[in-house]
Chains A and B, each alone.
Chain A
């Protein structure tokens, strides 16, 4: 059986999917990157092979997410694509009539505007990660509630409190204030969800033409409270696709398949043995000029296989 592998190495989580020839998901996983993308990719590969029919052969591989170059070198990717294109491709593949895609991940939030299956506009959060998954994670930990329960609690709220959503630091002090004056957890959590959505719509979606059907993707889409807050603000249904957390990986698997078909080439995938290989990353500061570039090196059994990060490219292998 033919399989197409998509790998999305995000700031907080690493996602993998294998699609069949009809672009259907036959296996997927979702792991924490845990600050070590190499290990995350290797663990992900070990895990996904367990979920596959042993007769599956990987025909194409694509990588996306902020760790896409590292992952691409590691596995031998056929295509390395940015996450906006990957998310858009996955969205239109699933729901061709989709017009607006909200994507909220660990450090990034994006909006993608699609018309007639083509991206016509997009935006990403700028220098601030307020209102992304990391912040929700942090708040969940602070109030001692598993993040998976966040949405459930939000839906139970009777009187959501108003929380400042503009800045994570202010939001947190607002939440603590509300908690100390005696508001219950449900109302605070629901208030936070509404603040996050308000902030998203006022900043990232500022000036965009928001038309339904709306799709909500990314890890944060698992949170029913955020979905409900979007629906309340937009007064419209928001669709959370079944594989919402791995849409980037799905998109890049489709792109890899397309790319190889158009070039008529065979995959550069190095095989699942990559998962067992002794890969190490290290970094050093090059002192040859005043730029002091931070050069990263990927080694296989102590032999450098790739380097990046130097402005002048002199360290590239």
Chain B
């Protein structure tokens, strides 16, 4: 059986089941890189272009973790996944950055996804599937199943689960969170957490932010836990179209939290060198200023390993909300 490697980074958190199911239906074994660890981070820092953001650097590390274990690496070129928006420039250039900087890679599958150019999602998957079979019916079937499974994945997260927790449930493996010896306190606060999934759900890089909030007595709500139409509606209410798909989701979630009165505080977690976020944060800040009753904090993450910065800010933020009561 052929083996294809998928990096546990970037859009893995969005599209895991779409990709995994598609490949498995075609008889290809999917191999994931290890969860982010020190070695992956260090490898990524060493090999990636200096000016790029931490999530992209991490992807280098994840692909290096996979390279020796697989026949293919799946590094899709996601240009546009909505008719009227782009993904981020670093995602568009990702396969090129990887191929230019990493040597001795297995075959790289860098299928282009570009809906804005008129290439449908199906067409891209058809092209991708043709690497493994020339039977169109087989690819069609795999694509349909993949879309269904992806919907199920998204519905599972809407129950208030992180992607990793949803995957654990769908795979039938017990969630490590249930084995955690430290019992959380009763949750007396609701925190809306906004940011890219690859920042929010990579526990290594965000210093276990979600777990820290839960231990601190918070129920955490993220964009992935909200139904997609809610965010589309909120983001559409903005005075102009937002250029980036991921940014739309972030701003949509932020606006929803500010306007729906369902959270006690909002934390926006962004990585230091993220270009789009540095602009979007200004929009979110502008909205925050109109809603002074809801405390807002931004948390910037980078490659530090010291927890102090994150811990201090989170503790102070929760203290602030509780002392206000």
Chain A interface residues (CB < 8 Å from chain B): 66, 81-85, 118-124, 126-127, 207, 289-292, 294, 311, 313
Some 12 contacts from A to B, beta carbons below 8 A apart, are A66-B312, A81-B319, A82-B312, A84-B312, A84-B320, A119-B319, A119-B324, A120-B324, A122-B316, A123-B297, A291-B204, A292-B37
Cβ-defined contact, B320 with A120, below 8 A? yes
Among A82, A83, A122, A313, the most chain B Cβ lie within 10 Å of the Cβ of A82
Cα distance A217–B296 when bound, in Å?
Answer: 23
Cβ-defined contact, A120 with B292, below 8 A? yes
With a cutoff of 8 Å between Cβ atoms, the chain B residues found around residue A120 in the complex are 292, 295, 320, 324
Chain B 159-183 interface residues, beta-carbon cutoff 8 Å to A: 182
Cβ-defined contact, B316 with A127, below 8 A? no
Cα distance A55–B3 when bound, in Å?
Answer: 75
Contact of B312 among A83, A207, A290, A311 (CB under 8 A): A83
Besides A120-B324, A124-B309, A127-B300, 15 new A-B residue pairs in contact (Cβ under 8 A), listed by A number: A66-B312, A81-B319, A82-B312, A84-B320, A85-B315, A120-B295, A121-B296, A121-B320, A122-B320, A123-B297, A207-B289, A289-B37, A290-B37, A294-B305, A311-B204
With a cutoff of 8 Å between Cβ atoms, the chain A residues found around residue B317 in the complex are 122
Q: Verify if B239 is at the interface (C-beta below 8 Å from A).
A: no
- Using C-beta atoms within 8 Å of the partner chain, give the interface range for chain B: 20 to 34
Contact of A292 among B34, B38, B311 (CB under 8 A): B38
Contact of A124 among B204, B272, B312 (CB under 8 A): B312
The count of A-to-B residue pairs whose CB atoms sit within 8 angstroms is 69
Question: Which chain B residue lies CB-closest to A11?
Answer: B308
With a cutoff of 8 Å between Cβ atoms, the chain B residues found around residue A207 in the complex are 285, 289
What is the CB-to-nearest-CB distance from B320 to chain A, in angstroms, rounded to a whole number? 5
The 7 closest A-B pairs by CB, nearest first: A84-B316, A290-B37, A82-B315, A85-B319, A126-B300, A119-B320, A292-B38
Cα distance A289–B302 when bound, in Å?
Answer: 22
Question: Which chain B residue lies CB-closest to A84?
Answer: B316
With a cutoff of 8 Å between Cβ atoms, the chain B residues found around residue A124 in the complex are 309, 312-313
Contact of A290 among B38, B289, B316, B320 (CB under 8 A): B38
What is the CB-to-nearest-CB distance from B21 to chain A, in angstroms, rounded to a whole number? 28
Chain B 272-310 interface residues, beta-carbon cutoff 8 Å to A: 272, 285, 289, 292, 295-297, 300, 302, 304-305, 308-309
Q: Verify if B135 is at the interface (C-beta below 8 Å from A).
A: no
Cα distance A124–B310 when bound, in Å?
Answer: 11
A291/B313 contact (C-beta < 8 A), A85-B320, A121-B295, A126-B300 known: no
With a cutoff of 8 Å between Cβ atoms, the chain B residues found around residue A292 in the complex are 37-39
What is the CB-to-nearest-CB distance from A307 to chain B, in angstroms, rounded to a whole number? 15
